[in-house]
């Protein structure tokens, strides 16, 4: 059979089910490709070669014995390294957790194992998921497979690269302000942030608890829909996990939405948008119109103007609280020779946390401090409500809203490392989705003149992933960008 790493996840599932390939062959093909390309790309932090092969062999043995196999059917999956796993370390790309071994598996890890997905290992990320380029990992940077002098986006850059470079058919990441969708755009893969509460966060190392959400990467919309179905659903261990039915997304995926109304966000096409990105997104929207969609201009005034500011107050405030536990006593790295009790905290955190994480902790602590709470944090929460109101008003007119995922294509490594504000503005179109708790998806929609991918973003009302996926599939059927692969 042809190279198994070039099959989509569903093609690979079907090939294994038909006996044209085995789960072990699929795992070994991807592990071999990881071994050859990961030293250059830096997508994986930890490769689970022996456990993956053992798991694949067990699945093949059960199949040979006529016993039932789970819906993931032996297909390999990669995990972002902020998902707790009993096997191996869970580092969050930080020196603080370099030796942390979780005593339990995250809910999504349990679901993947129960569904007979074969876990290949843990992928690189910006430290504690704080970044937009995967340059802030303490373990080493990840590069874009389409242009290795460029960033892959972040913070889930390792997972995006793993799928784009055919190191894994599908992967999981986390999205707090665009950390799935933005690297999906930079790397040319489908990347889905589900509704807040659709997927349990149990076992996800917290960055900003009211914003974080786990979601899938895939080469096609169908692959992402398939993996979402496997991990979504109520989990009593996560109080924010919603007890709502999980549709069979694949069952309706290829059914076009009759009279689909697509809201074109007026403010997403203004200052700061790269001309080539705008052109590709315009062509994509025209293609949807050619499939019968109606394009309607909508406005998200607060979402566009204030989302970045509100996000970087809410997210950093929650980060300040969540990361207080990493103090050299409760969790993580401890300084070797502290002078006294206070120095345990000061030295341990100074030694083990990177500059971007320190910056966000300080911003969040300041926003929550006496005298500033009302001026910053409380005001940001009020703006968050206004942003949700913007979306509620838009969805009275349309089924989904659409625009670019990122204002630019992937930028050069190091180009924005010394300019945090420029880095933060990478997420200008994605943060509002998290503040409103809505589902959003990136779908590849072209390439710039340098051969770097461009992404189309769509967002829908809460828990309308089925509609969002069908709309994304309607566009995907007009232009199969997933068939293109980086030359590695």
Task: Please report, for the domain that includes residue 236, its CATH number.
Answer: 3.90.1300.10
Name the CA dihedral angle for 77, 79, 84, 87, rounded to a multiple of 10 degrees. 60
User: Does residue 337 register a pLDDT over 90?
Assistant: no
Q: Within a domain: residue 373?
A: no
Q: Within a domain: residue 112?
A: yes
Which residue is it, tokens 């005298």?
A: 371
pLDDT for the residue 289:
97
User: Does residue 165 register a pLDDT over 80?
Assistant: yes
Q: How confident is the model at residue 56 (pLDDT cuts 50, 70, 90)?
A: very high
Give the whole-angstrom CA distance, residue 469 versus residue 451: 26
pLDDT for the residue 290:
96
Q: Within a domain: residue 330?
A: no
Active site residue 382: no
pLDDT for the residue 223:
98
User: Does residue 110 register a pLDDT over 60?
Assistant: yes
Q: Within a domain: residue 355?
A: no
pLDDT for the residue 406:
98
Q: Which of 22, 155, 185, 241 is catalytic?
A: 155
What is the tens place of the pLDDT at every residue in 3-42?
999 999 999 999 999 999 999 999 999 999 999 999 999 9
Give the whole-angstrom CA distance, residue 119 versus residue 102: 16
Overall domain count for the chain: 1
Phi then psi for residue 441, to 5 deg, are -140, 145
Which residue is it, tokens 């509704």?
A: 195
User: Does residue 308 register a pLDDT over 90?
Assistant: yes
Question: What percentage of the chain exceeds 70 in pLDDT?
Answer: 100
Angle between helices 301-322 and 355-368 (to 10 degrees): 100
Cross-strand pairs, 456: 404, 443
Phi then psi for residue 273, to 5 deg, are -85, 125
Closest to 161 (Cα-Cα) out of 10, 73, 45: 45
Does this model's pTM top 0.95? My answer is yes
Mean pLDDT calculated for residue range 194-209:
98
Q: Within a domain: residue 359?
A: no
H/E segment holding residue 171: strand 170-175
What is the tens place of the pLDDT at every residue in 224-241?
999 999 999 999 999 999
Q: Within a domain: residue 381?
A: no
pLDDT for the residue 418:
86
Active site residue 467: no
Q: Within a domain: residue 102?
A: yes
What is the tens place of the pLDDT at every residue in 374-424?
999 999 999 999 999 999 999 999 999 999 999 999 999 999 988 888 899
Are the C-beta atoms of 441 and 468 separated by less than 8 Å? yes
Q: Which of 94, 133, 159, 179 is catalytic?
A: 179
Domain residues for the domain of 290 are: 4-299+393-483
User: Does residue 1 register a pLDDT over 70?
Assistant: no
End-to-end CA distance of the chain: 21
Q: Which of 80, 193, 452, 467 is catalytic?
A: 80
3-state secondary structure 95-141: HHHCCCCCCCCCHHHHHHHHCCCEEEEEECCCHHHCCCCCCCCCCCC
Q: Within a domain: residue 76?
A: yes
Q: How confident is the model at residue 134 (pLDDT cuts 50, 70, 90)?
A: very high
Question: What percentage of the chain exceeds 90 in pLDDT?
Answer: 94
Mean pLDDT (the chain, rounded):
96
Active site residue 370: no
Q: Is 209 exposed, middle or buried (0-12, 13-18, 19+ CB in 10 A)?
A: middle
pLDDT for the residue 410:
98
- Beta pairing class for 400-404 and 261-265: parallel
């Amino acid at each position: 059979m042809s190279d198994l790493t070039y099959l989509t996840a569903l093609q690979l599932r079907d090939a294994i089910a038909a006996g044209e390939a085995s789960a072990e062959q699929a795992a070994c093909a991807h592990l071999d490709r990881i071994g050859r390309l990961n030293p250059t790309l830096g997508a994986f932090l930890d490769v689970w070669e022996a456990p993956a092969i053992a798991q694949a062999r067990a699945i093949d043995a059960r199949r040979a014995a006529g016993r039932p196999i789970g819906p993931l059917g032996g297909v390999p999956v990669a995990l972002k390294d902020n998902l707790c796993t009993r096997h191996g370390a869970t580092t969050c790309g930080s020196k603080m957790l370099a030796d942390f071994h979780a005593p339990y598996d995250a809910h999504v890890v349990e679901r993947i194992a129960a569904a007979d997905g074969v876990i290949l290992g843990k992928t690189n990320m910006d430290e504690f998921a704080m970044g937009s380029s995967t340059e802030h990992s303490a373990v080493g940077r990840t590069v874009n497979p389409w242009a290795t002098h460029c960033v892959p986006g972040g913070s889930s850059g390792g997972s995006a690269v793993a799928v784009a470079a055919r190191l894994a058919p599908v992967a999981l990441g986390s999205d707090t302000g665009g950390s799935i969708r933005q690297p999906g755009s930079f790397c040319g893969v489908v990347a889905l942030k589900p509704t807040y509460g659709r997927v349990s966060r149990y076992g996800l190392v917290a960055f900003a608890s009211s914003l974080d959400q786990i979601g899938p990467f895939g080469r096609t919309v169908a692959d992402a829909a398939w993996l979402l179905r496997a991990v979504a659903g109520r989990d009593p261990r996560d109080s924010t996990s919603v007890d709502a039915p999980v549709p069979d997304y694949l069952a309706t995926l290829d059914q076009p939405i009759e009279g689909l109304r697509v809201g074109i966000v007026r403010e997403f096409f203004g200052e700061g948008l790269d001309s080539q990105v705008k052109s590709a997104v315009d062509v994509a929207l025209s293609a949807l119109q050619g499939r019968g969609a109606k394009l309607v201009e909508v406005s998200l005034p607060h979402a566009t103007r204030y989302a970045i500011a509100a996000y970087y107050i809410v997210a950093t405030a929650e980060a300040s609280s969540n990361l207080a536990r990493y103090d050299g006593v409760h969790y993580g790295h401890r300084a070797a020779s502290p002078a006294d009790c206070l120095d345990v905290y000061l030295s341990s955190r100074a030694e083990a946390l990177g500059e971007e994480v320190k910056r966000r902790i300080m911003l969040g602590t300041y926003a929550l401090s006496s005298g500033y709470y009302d001026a910053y944090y409380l005001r940001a929460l009020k703006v968050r409500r206004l942003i949700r109101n913007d979306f509620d008003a838009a969805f009275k007119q349309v089924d989904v809203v659409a625009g670019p995922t990122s204002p630019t294509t992937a930028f050069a490594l190091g180009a924005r490392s010394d300019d945090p504000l420029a880095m933060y503005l990478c997420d200008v179109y994605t943060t509002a989705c998290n503040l409103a708790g809505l589902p959003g998806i990136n779908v590849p929609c072209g390439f710039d003149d340098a051969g770097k991918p461009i992404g189309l973003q769509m967002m829908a009302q809460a828990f309308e992933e089925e509609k969002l996926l069908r709309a994304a599939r309607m566009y995907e059927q007009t232009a199969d960008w997933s068939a293109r692969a980086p030359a590695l």
